C-alpha cells in the first residue's frame, strides 16, 4: 500500500508511473546535479518503455493468429452452454454486453513525460533529519533552499522527529522557507512576531535577540495544514514513561569547585559590561560550559551509588552525560567495585561503538555510559528500563533523544528517567528545558491551543541570557556571604576564598 506522501508526490509530478528515486546521502547536490541525474534516468526509462512497446506489438501480432485459431473452440463452448439453465445464459450475456459497451474503470498508469531540452522532468525534494536545516547560514540549508526554489521542483517533504530541537520558534523559520510557506518570506518579521525578537543590551552593546517566543497560538494555527505530526505513542505500542527529578548530595570539595566556576561567570559578565570591554558572549558561554562541567563531575559519585542500588533489583542501567570527564570518572568508580561499564563517547573509535552496544544488549555488561553527542541517537539500549541523566543539554531535543535510547521497539517495561540535581544551576537548566518543551508543544500540537499556548509564550525566558542572569544572581549571593576569587593556587587557576567575618554576618 502506498504511503500518503508517495501519492501526493506523484500528483505533484503529474504522473502515476514509477518515480526515479536517487539518494545523495548526507550532502545535498546542486539543482544542476539533480536535473542531470533525473534527465538521464527518465531517458533510460523512456527507452526501456519503448522496448516494451515494440515487444508488445510483436506479441500482439502473434496473438491475432492465435485468436483466429480459437474461434472454433469458443463456438463449441457456446453450443455446450445451451444445455445449462436459462438464468446462467442471461447472466453471461449481461456481463458480456456490459464489458463490451462500457470502458474499463481502471486507468492504465501514465508514463513519465518525454524528456526534451525545453521540458526536463520535475523532481521532489525529500530531506530526512530536517532539523539539521535550522540554520539559514549553513551550507546544507542553502543547498536545500536552492533545490526547493528551483523551477522544476514540484514539492518538498521535510522529515524530522524534532522540528524544534532547541524548543524555540526561531528553529522552524528555515524549514518554513524551504517548503515555501508564506511565513518563511521575511526572517526579521517572523522573529518579531513569533520569537519576541528585539534588541537587548549585552554589556555596553546592543544585540538582536530572537531566542524567545510570542503569539504561539497564531503560529500553531498558521502552520498546522503544512504539517503531519505523529507521536511515538500514536505509532508504537510502548509502556509508560516516568521522569523523576532526584536531589543528590555532593562532597564539600565538589561544592567549592562549583562555586569557583560560578563566580568566574559573574566576573566575566561584569567585565563584559564595561565600556570598551574585549570580553564577548563567547567567553561567557565558555564559562557557562565550565560551570555545567563542574556541576556534572560533582555528581559522579552520586550517580554511581544510585546505579549500584538499582542493579540490586534490575539487570542493567544506562547513564548519560554531556562531559567525557564525568563519563570516565564514573567508569573508573565502577571498576573499583568490580562492575563492568561500557563507555561510548566522542573519543570511542567507530569500530568499537557497535561492540559496546552489543555487549550491553547481550547482558555481558550491566552498565552503559554514553555521551549525548555520540550515543544520543541511532542506537538501541532496551536491555535497561532505567536511565540516569547526570546532566542535561540546553537543547530539549538532545535530552529526549537520549531518553528514547531505552524507550523504543523492543522495550517491554515501563521506563524510568532519573534527572540528577545538586545545585541551583541544575534547577535552572531543567526549568529552561521544561519551558522550551512547553513552547514546542504549543507550536506543534493541537492540544496546546488556547490558555496553554498563552502560558507557554514565555518571552525571552528561552534565551541563554536567562542562564547567565541566574548564574550571576547565585554568584552575588556568594559574594554577600563573603566568598571571593583570587589568582594563584597550585593549579595556577582561581582560588575560592571565604571571609569568616563576612560569612558570620
Shared-domain flag, residues 294 and 381: yes
Shared-domain flag, residues 144 and 246: no
Please check whether residue 179 lies inside any domain of the structure.
no
Each of the 505 residues of the chain gets a pLDDT tens digit; together they read 445 555 665 555 554 444 566 676 667 878 888 777 766 655 565 566 666 556 666 666 665 555 545 444 444 443 334 434 443 333 333 333 333 344 344 444 444 555 555 566 778 899 998 999 999 899 999 999 999 999 888 889 999 988 998 889 999 999 999 999 999 999 999 999 999 988 877 666 778 888 888 999 999 999 988 998 888 878 888 889 999 999 999 999 999 999 999 989 888 888 877 777 777 778 888 999 999 999 999 999 999 999 999 999 999 999 999 999 999 999 999 999 999 999 999 999 999 999 999 999 999 999 999 999 999 988 999 999 999 999 999 889 999 999 999 999 999 999 999 999 999 999 999 998 998 999 998 998 875 444 455 555 545 455 677 788 888 888 888 777 776 665 544 444 555 554 433 322 2
Shared-domain flag, residues 290 and 436: yes
Please check whether residue 125 lies inside any domain of the structure.
yes
Please check whether residue 225 lies inside any domain of the structure.
no
The C-alpha atoms of residue 22 and residue 3 are separated, in whole angstroms, by 18
pLDDT number for residue 462: 55
Of 160, 187, 212, which marks where a domain is finished?
160
Shared-domain flag, residues 130 and 244: no
Please check whether residue 207 lies inside any domain of the structure.
no
Q: Where are the alpha helices (DSSP H) in 123-197?
A: 139-148, 173-178, 187-194
Of 160, 191, 208, which marks where a domain is finished?
160
Shared-domain flag, residues 466 and 366: yes
Please check whether residue 94 lies inside any domain of the structure.
no
Q: Which residues contact 332 (CB under 8 A, 6 or more apart)?
A: none
**Scanning the structure block, which residue is given the C-alpha cell 531517458?**
43
Q: pTM for this one? A: 0.73
The CATH number covering residue 258 comes to: 3.40.50.300
Shared-domain flag, residues 345 and 461: yes
Total of domains in the chain: 2
pLDDT number for residue 107: 47
- Rounded CA Rg of the chain: 32
Shared-domain flag, residues 143 and 241: no
Q: Cell for 364?
A: 555481558
Strands 494-498 and 483-487: antiparallel
pLDDT number for residue 173: 95
**Scanning the structure block, which residue is given the C-alpha cell 548519560?**
320
Shared-domain flag, residues 141 and 30: yes
Of 104, 132, 160, which marks where a domain is finished?
160
Q: Tell me the residue range of the domain where 327 lies.
A: 234-498
Please check whether residue 503 lies inside any domain of the structure.
no
pLDDT number for residue 48: 61
Residue 113 sits at the vertex; the CA angle it makes with 108 and 119, to the nearest 5 degrees, is 165
Contact 38, 186 (CB under 8 A): no
pLDDT number for residue 141: 92
Share in percent of the chain as helix, strand, coil (round to 5)? 55, 15, 35
pLDDT number for residue 474: 81
Please check whether residue 401 lies inside any domain of the structure.
yes
DSSP 358: H
Please check whether residue 203 lies inside any domain of the structure.
no
Amino acid at each position: 500500500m502506498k504511503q500518503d506522501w508517495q501519492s501526493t508526490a506523484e500528483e505533484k509530478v503529474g504522473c502515476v508511473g514509477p518515480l526515479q528515486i536517487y539518494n545523495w546521502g548526507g550532502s545535498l547536490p546542486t539543482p544542476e546535479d539533480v536535473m542531470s541525474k533525473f534527465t538521464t534516468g527518465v531517458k533510460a526509462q523512456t527507452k526501456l518503455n519503448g522496448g516494451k512497446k515494440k515487444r508488445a506489438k510483436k506479441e500482439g501480432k502473434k496473438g491475432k493468429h492465435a485468436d483466429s485459431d480459437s474461434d472454433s473452440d469458443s463456438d463449441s463452448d457456446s453450443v455446450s452452454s445451451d444445455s445449462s439453465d436459462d438464468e446462467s445464459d442471461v447472466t453471461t450475456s449481461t456481463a458480456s454486453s456490459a464489458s463490451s459497451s462500457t470502458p474499463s474503470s481502471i486507468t492504465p498508469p501514465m508514463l513519465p513525460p518525454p524528456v526534451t531540452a525545453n521540458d526536463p522532468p520535475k523532481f521532489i525534494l525529500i530531506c530526512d533529519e530536517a532539523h539539521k536545516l535550522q540554520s539559514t547560514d549553513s551550507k546544507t540549508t542553502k543547498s536545500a533552499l536552492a533545490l526547493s526554489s528551483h523551477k522544476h521542483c514540484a514539492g518538498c517533504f521535510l522529515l524530522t522527529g524534532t522540528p524544534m530541537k532547541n524548543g524555540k520558534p526561531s528553529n522552524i523559520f528555515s524549514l518554513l522557507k524551504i517548503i515555501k510557506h508564506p511565513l518563511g518570506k521575511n526572517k526579521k518579521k517572523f522573529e518579531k512576531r513569533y520569537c519576541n525578537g528585539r534588541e537587548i543590551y549585552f554589556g555596553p552593546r546592543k544585540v538582536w535577540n530572537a531566542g524567545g517566543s510570542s503569539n504561539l497560538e497564531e503560529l500553531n494555527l498558521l502552520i498546522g495544514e503544512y504539517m503531519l505530526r505523529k507521536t511515538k505513542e500514536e505509532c508504537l505500542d510502548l509502556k509508560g514513561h516516568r521522569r523523576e527529578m532526584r536531589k543528590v548530595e555532593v562532597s564539600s570539595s565538589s561544592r567549592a569547585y562549583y562555586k569557583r566556576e560560578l563566580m568566574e561567570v559573574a566576573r566575566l559578565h561584569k567585565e563584559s559590561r564595561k565600556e570598551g570591554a574585549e570580553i564577548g558572549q563567547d567567553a561567557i558561554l565558555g564559562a557557562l560550559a565550565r560551570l555545567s562541567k563542574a556541576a556534572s563531575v560533582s555528581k559522579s559519585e552520586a550517580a554511581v551509588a544510585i546505579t549500584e542500588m538499582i542493579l540490586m533489583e534490575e539487570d542493567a542501567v544506562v547513564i548519560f552525560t554531556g562531559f567525557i570527564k564525568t563519563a570516565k570518572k564514573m567508569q573508573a568508580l565502577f571498576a573499583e567495585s568490580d562492575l563492568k561499564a561500557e563507555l561510548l563517547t566522542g573519543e570511542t573509535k567507530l569500530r568499537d561503538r557497535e561492540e559496546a552496544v552489543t555487549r550491553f544488549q547481550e547482558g555481558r555488561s550491566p552498565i552503559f555510559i554514553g555521551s549525548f553527542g555520540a550515543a544520543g541517537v541511532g542506537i538501541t539500549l532496551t536491555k535497561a528500563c532505567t536511565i540516569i541523566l547526570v546532566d542535561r543539554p540546553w537543547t530539549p531535543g538532545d535530552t529526549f533523544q537520549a531518553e528514547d535510547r531505552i524507550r523504543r521497539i523492543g522495550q517491554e517495561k515501563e521506563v524510568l528517567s532519573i534527572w540528577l540535581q545538586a545545585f541551583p544551576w541544575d534547577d535552572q537548566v531543567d526549568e529552561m528545558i521544561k519551558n522550551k518543551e512547553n513552547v514546542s508543544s504549543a507550536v506543534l500540537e493541537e492540544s496546546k491551543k488556547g490558555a496553554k499556548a498563552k502560558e507557554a509564550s514565555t518571552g525571552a525566558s528561552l534565551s541563554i541570557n536567562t542562564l547567565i542572569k541566574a548564574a550571576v544572581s547565585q554568584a552575588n549571593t556568594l559574594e554577600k556571604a563573603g566568598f571571593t576569587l583570587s589568582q594563584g593556587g597550585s593549579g595556577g587557576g582561581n582560588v575560592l576564598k571565604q571571609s569568616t567575618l563576612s560569612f558570620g554576618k
